[in-house]
């Protein structure tokens, strides 16, 4: 592979990564915008742990949080902190922020996997 082909392949990879991040960001915004009212009406006890919260929240919420992490990677930590704190989802806020701080983990849908583990396999966190 000559240097010109290498630069073209790097440019192509960069464009694909940008497209995935942009699409994830738009989808996240769309989900939060459409579901904001129903999310605010969730009755989550103030001291609910992660398992109890995951049993209450709908799947689209954890998918939106994972999309936010995919779109912004490390920059998602402060955004997730403020957003989830405003929504009263403190246990999701904590785990989402820790996961967002770790670089290159945005592609792993951590909360979505945890949601399925709690709902269908009875795992407790």
CB atoms within 10 A of CB 23: 13
pLDDT at residue number 125: 87
pLDDT at residue number 13: 95
Query: In whole angstroms, what is the distance from residue 76 CA to residue 97 CA?
Result: 8
Query: In whole angstroms, what is the distance from residue 69 CA to residue 59 CA?
Result: 16
The string of pLDDT tens digits covering residues 82-113 is 999 999 899 999 999 999 898 888 899 999 99
Helix axes 110-121, 59-72, angle to 10 degrees: 160
Q: Taking a C-beta distance cutoff of 8 angstroms, is the pair 40, 87 a contact?
A: yes
Average pLDDT rounded to a whole number, residues 37-42: 91
């Amino acid at each position: 592979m000559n240097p010109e082909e290498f630069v073209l392949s790097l440019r192509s990879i960069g464009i694909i990564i940008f497209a995935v991040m942009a699409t994830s960001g738009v989808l996240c915004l769309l989900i939060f915008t459409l579901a904001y009212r129903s999310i605010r009406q969730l009755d989550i006890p103030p001291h609910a742990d992660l398992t109890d919260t995951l049993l209450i929240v709908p799947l689209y919420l954890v998918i939106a949080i994972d999309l936010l992490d995919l779109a912004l990677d490390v920059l998602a930590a402060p955004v997730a902190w403020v957003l989830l704190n405003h929504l009263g989802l403190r246990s999701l806020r904590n785990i989402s922020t820790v996961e967002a701080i770790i670089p290159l983990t945005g592609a792993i849908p951590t909360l979505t996997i945890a949601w399925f583990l709690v709902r269908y396999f009875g795992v407790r966190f």
